[in-house]
């Protein structure tokens, strides 16, 4: 699998897991917010790699 696809896939999985964890705990804490931010950055960098390639 290409690097940009891995990056986007990992970002999507992190967002899904963070959302599930937030729903189960019925709260948003700083760790969930950080995971969501990191996942979004991972997706952005993955899409930037695709455009460069």
Per-residue pLDDT tens over the stretch 16-26: 999 999 999 98
- Mean pLDDT across the stretch 33-51? 93
> What 3-state class would DSSP assign to 25?
helix
Percent of the chain scoring above 90 in pLDDT: 72
Q: Comparing C-alpha atoms, which of 21, 14, 19, 2 is closest to residue 43?
A: 14
Place of tokens 């969930």: 32
Put simply, whether the predicted model's pTM sits higher than 0.75 gets the answer yes
Query: pLDDT class for 39, splitting at 50, 70, 90?
Result: very high
Percent of the chain scoring above 70 in pLDDT: 100
The alpha carbon of residue 47 and the mean position of all alpha carbons in its chain are separated, in whole angstroms, by 12
């Amino acid at each position: 699998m290409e690097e940009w696809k891995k990056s986007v896939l990992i970002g999507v999985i992190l967002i899904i897991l963070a959302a599930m964890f937030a729903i189960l705990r019925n709260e948003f804490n700083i760790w969930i917010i950080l995971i969501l931010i990191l996942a979004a950055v991972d997706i952005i960098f993955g899409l930037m790699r695709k455009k460069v390639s």
